[in-house]
Protein backbone atom coordinates (compact mmCIF):
# COMPACT_ATOMS: atom_id res chain seq x y z
CA UNK A 1 0.00 0.00 0.00
CA UNK A 2 1.25 3.47 -0.82
CA UNK A 3 1.88 5.80 2.10
CA UNK A 4 0.45 9.29 2.22
CA UNK A 5 3.50 11.01 0.85
CA UNK A 6 4.05 8.80 -2.14
CA UNK A 7 0.32 8.81 -2.85
CA UNK A 8 0.50 12.58 -3.07
CA UNK A 9 3.49 12.24 -5.37
CA UNK A 10 1.63 9.84 -7.68
CA UNK A 11 -1.36 12.21 -7.71
CA UNK A 12 0.93 14.93 -8.91
CA UNK A 13 2.36 12.75 -11.66
CA UNK A 14 -1.09 11.67 -12.78
CA UNK A 15 -2.39 15.24 -12.88
CA UNK A 16 0.51 16.37 -15.03
CA UNK A 17 0.23 13.33 -17.26
CA UNK A 18 -3.47 13.95 -17.88
CA UNK A 19 -3.04 17.63 -18.62
CA UNK A 20 -0.26 17.06 -21.12
CA UNK A 21 -1.89 14.13 -22.94
CA UNK A 22 -5.52 15.18 -23.03
CA UNK A 23 -5.60 15.52 -26.80
CA UNK A 24 -4.49 11.92 -27.34
CA UNK A 25 -7.16 10.79 -24.89
CA UNK A 26 -9.75 12.73 -26.80
CA UNK A 27 -8.79 11.21 -30.15
CA UNK A 28 -8.93 7.72 -28.76
CA UNK A 29 -12.29 8.23 -27.04
CA UNK A 30 -13.67 9.95 -30.12
CA UNK A 31 -12.61 7.14 -32.43
CA UNK A 32 -14.83 4.83 -30.40
CA UNK A 33 -17.93 6.96 -29.87
CA UNK A 34 -17.78 9.36 -32.88
CA UNK A 35 -19.41 12.06 -30.86
CA UNK A 36 -17.88 15.10 -29.23
CA UNK A 37 -20.11 15.25 -26.16
CA UNK A 38 -19.70 11.57 -25.53
CA UNK A 39 -15.93 11.68 -25.92
CA UNK A 40 -15.73 14.47 -23.35
CA UNK A 41 -17.93 12.47 -20.97
CA UNK A 42 -15.74 9.42 -21.40
CA UNK A 43 -12.61 11.42 -20.58
CA UNK A 44 -14.24 12.93 -17.52
CA UNK A 45 -15.30 9.51 -16.26
CA UNK A 46 -11.87 8.07 -16.97
CA UNK A 47 -10.16 10.82 -14.98
CA UNK A 48 -12.44 10.30 -11.98
CA UNK A 49 -11.90 6.54 -12.12
CA UNK A 50 -8.16 6.99 -12.41
CA UNK A 51 -8.00 9.08 -9.24
CA UNK A 52 -10.27 6.83 -7.28
CA UNK A 53 -8.18 3.79 -8.25
CA UNK A 54 -4.85 5.51 -7.78
CA UNK A 55 -3.62 2.76 -5.48
CA UNK A 56 -3.82 0.25 -8.33
CA UNK A 57 -1.04 2.14 -10.11
CA UNK A 58 1.86 0.15 -8.71
CA UNK A 59 4.63 1.78 -10.70
CA UNK A 60 4.39 5.42 -11.90
CA UNK A 61 6.52 4.44 -14.93
CA UNK A 62 3.59 2.41 -16.15
CA UNK A 63 1.20 5.33 -16.04
CA UNK A 64 0.55 5.30 -19.80
CA UNK A 65 -0.73 1.72 -20.18
CA UNK A 66 -2.51 2.05 -16.83
CA UNK A 67 -4.42 5.18 -17.83
CA UNK A 68 -5.17 3.93 -21.34
CA UNK A 69 -6.62 0.80 -19.86
CA UNK A 70 -9.10 2.88 -17.87
CA UNK A 71 -9.82 5.06 -20.90
CA UNK A 72 -10.41 2.09 -23.21
CA UNK A 73 -12.67 0.46 -20.61
CA UNK A 74 -14.69 3.66 -20.25
CA UNK A 75 -15.04 3.93 -24.03
CA UNK A 76 -16.23 0.34 -24.33
CA UNK A 77 -18.68 0.81 -21.46
CA UNK A 78 -20.06 3.82 -23.24
CA UNK A 79 -20.49 1.84 -26.45
CA UNK A 80 -22.30 -0.96 -24.67
CA UNK A 81 -24.71 1.47 -23.05
CA UNK A 82 -25.38 3.37 -26.26
CA UNK A 83 -25.34 0.68 -28.90
CA UNK A 84 -28.27 1.99 -30.89
CA UNK A 85 -26.94 5.53 -31.27
CA UNK A 86 -23.80 4.67 -33.17
CA UNK A 87 -24.84 3.99 -36.79
CA UNK A 88 -26.22 7.49 -37.26
CA UNK A 89 -22.89 9.06 -36.44
CA UNK A 90 -20.64 6.78 -38.41
CA UNK A 91 -18.98 9.06 -40.95
CA UNK A 92 -17.69 11.62 -38.49
CA UNK A 93 -14.17 10.36 -38.01
CA UNK A 94 -13.02 11.69 -41.37
CA UNK A 95 -12.69 15.49 -41.43
CA UNK A 96 -14.16 16.90 -44.65
CA UNK A 97 -10.93 18.66 -45.56
CA UNK A 98 -9.44 15.25 -46.26
CA UNK A 99 -11.70 14.34 -49.13
CA UNK A 100 -8.82 14.54 -51.57
CA UNK A 101 -8.53 11.77 -54.20
CA UNK A 102 -4.84 11.02 -53.43
CA UNK A 103 -5.75 10.16 -49.92
CA UNK A 104 -8.51 7.78 -50.82
CA UNK A 105 -6.71 4.59 -49.77
CA UNK A 106 -5.80 6.09 -46.42
CA UNK A 107 -9.33 7.26 -45.90
CA UNK A 108 -10.60 3.82 -46.82
CA UNK A 109 -8.13 2.43 -44.33
CA UNK A 110 -9.48 4.74 -41.62
CA UNK A 111 -13.03 3.74 -42.42
CA UNK A 112 -12.13 0.08 -42.37
CA UNK A 113 -10.41 0.52 -39.02
CA UNK A 114 -13.63 2.07 -37.79
CA UNK A 115 -15.55 -1.00 -38.84
CA UNK A 116 -13.32 -3.43 -36.95
CA UNK A 117 -14.71 -4.97 -33.82
CA UNK A 118 -13.60 -2.99 -30.77
CA UNK A 119 -10.96 -5.41 -29.53
CA UNK A 120 -9.13 -5.31 -32.84
CA UNK A 121 -9.64 -1.62 -33.36
CA UNK A 122 -8.09 -0.87 -29.98
CA UNK A 123 -4.94 -2.72 -30.93
CA UNK A 124 -4.62 -1.06 -34.34
CA UNK A 125 -5.07 2.44 -32.94
CA UNK A 126 -2.66 1.94 -30.08
CA UNK A 127 -0.04 0.27 -32.28
CA UNK A 128 -0.10 2.45 -35.37
CA UNK A 129 -1.54 5.78 -34.24
CA UNK A 130 -0.26 5.99 -30.68
CA UNK A 131 2.97 4.06 -31.40
CA UNK A 132 2.65 1.79 -28.39
CA UNK A 133 4.79 -1.29 -27.97
CA UNK A 134 3.03 -4.63 -28.07
CA UNK A 135 3.95 -5.18 -24.41
CA UNK A 136 2.25 -1.93 -23.44
CA UNK A 137 -0.82 -2.83 -25.48
CA UNK A 138 -0.97 -6.15 -23.67
CA UNK A 139 -1.10 -4.28 -20.40
CA UNK A 140 -3.72 -1.79 -21.67
CA UNK A 141 -5.99 -4.58 -22.86
CA UNK A 142 -5.28 -6.81 -19.87
CA UNK A 143 -4.17 -9.67 -22.07
CA UNK A 144 -0.85 -11.36 -22.75
CA UNK A 145 1.62 -10.61 -25.51
CA UNK A 146 0.60 -13.58 -27.61
CA UNK A 147 -3.05 -12.56 -27.53
CA UNK A 148 -2.08 -9.10 -28.74
CA UNK A 149 0.01 -10.59 -31.53
CA UNK A 150 -2.83 -12.79 -32.65
CA UNK A 151 -5.36 -9.94 -32.62
CA UNK A 152 -2.97 -7.67 -34.47
CA UNK A 153 -2.54 -10.36 -37.09
CA UNK A 154 -6.29 -10.88 -37.40
CA UNK A 155 -6.93 -7.14 -37.68
CA UNK A 156 -4.28 -6.62 -40.36
CA UNK A 157 -5.67 -9.51 -42.33
CA UNK A 158 -9.22 -8.15 -42.21
CA UNK A 159 -8.08 -4.66 -43.18
CA UNK A 160 -6.06 -5.92 -46.09
CA UNK A 161 -8.92 -8.00 -47.37
CA UNK A 162 -11.48 -5.24 -47.17
CA UNK A 163 -9.18 -2.70 -48.82
CA UNK A 164 -8.49 -5.09 -51.67
CA UNK A 165 -12.20 -5.63 -52.13
CA UNK A 166 -12.80 -1.89 -52.10
CA UNK A 167 -10.16 -1.04 -54.69
CA UNK A 168 -10.50 -4.15 -56.80
Partner 1 sequence: MNSWKEAKKIYHQIEIPSQLTQTVEEALSHAADSLHNQKRRHQWTRGAIYALAGLCAAFIFSVNVNSAFANTLYDIPIVGNIARVFTFREFQEKDDFKYIDVKMPALEHTGKTNLESRINYEIRYQIDRIIKEVEVRAKEYYDAFIATGGKKSEFIPIEVFVDYQVTCSNADLVSFYITKSESFASAYTEQFFFNVDLNSGKDLTLQDLLGSDYEKTANEEILRQMKQRHQEDPNIIYWGQDGDTEKNIPGFEGISEDQNFYINEKGNVVITFEKYSIGPGSIGIQEFEIPTDYGN
Q: Residue 122: CB partners within 8 Å, gap ≥ 6?
A: 72, 137, 140, 141
Q: Answer whether 140's CB lies under 8 Å from 69's CB.
A: yes
Residue closer to partner 1 by CB (options 61, 77) is 77
What mask, x for binding partner 1 by CB under 8 A, covers residues 139 to 168? Answer: ----xx-xx-xx-xxx-xx--x--------
Among 85, 94, 119, 158, binds partner 1 (CB under 8 A): 94
Among 56, 88, 103, 117, binds partner 1 (CB under 8 A): 103
Residue 119 lies near partner 1 (rule: CB under 8 A): no
Residue 110 lies near partner 1 (rule: CB under 8 A): yes
Among 56, 77, 82, 161, binds partner 1 (CB under 8 A): 77
Q: Answer whether 44's CB lies under 8 Å from 78's CB.
A: no
Provide the Cα torsion 124, 118, 43, 125; round to 10°.
10
Q: Answer whether 101's CB lies under 8 Å from 94's CB.
A: no
Residue 113 lies near partner 1 (rule: CB under 8 A): yes
Q: Answer whether 117's CB lies under 8 Å from 145's CB.
A: no
Residue closer to partner 1 by CB (options 61, 144) is 144
What are the counts of helices (DSSP H) followed by strands (DSSP E) for the chain? 7, 0
Rounded Cα–Cα distance for residues 86 and 121 (Å): 15
Contacts to partner 1 from residues 18-37, by CB under 8 A: 18-19, 22-23, 26-27, 30-31, 36
Rounded Cα–Cα distance for residues 107 and 120 (Å): 18
Chain residues that interact with partner 1, rule: CB under 8 A: 15, 18-19, 22-23, 26-27, 30-31, 36, 40, 43-44, 47-48, 50-52, 55, 77, 80, 93-95, 97-98, 103, 105-107, 109-110, 113, 125, 128-129, 134, 143-144, 146-147, 149-150, 152-154, 156-157, 160
Amino acid sequence: MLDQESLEHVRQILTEYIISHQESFYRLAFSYCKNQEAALDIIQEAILKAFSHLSSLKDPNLIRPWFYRILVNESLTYLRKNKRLIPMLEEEMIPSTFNHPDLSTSITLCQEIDRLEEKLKTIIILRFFEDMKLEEIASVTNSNLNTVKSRLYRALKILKQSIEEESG
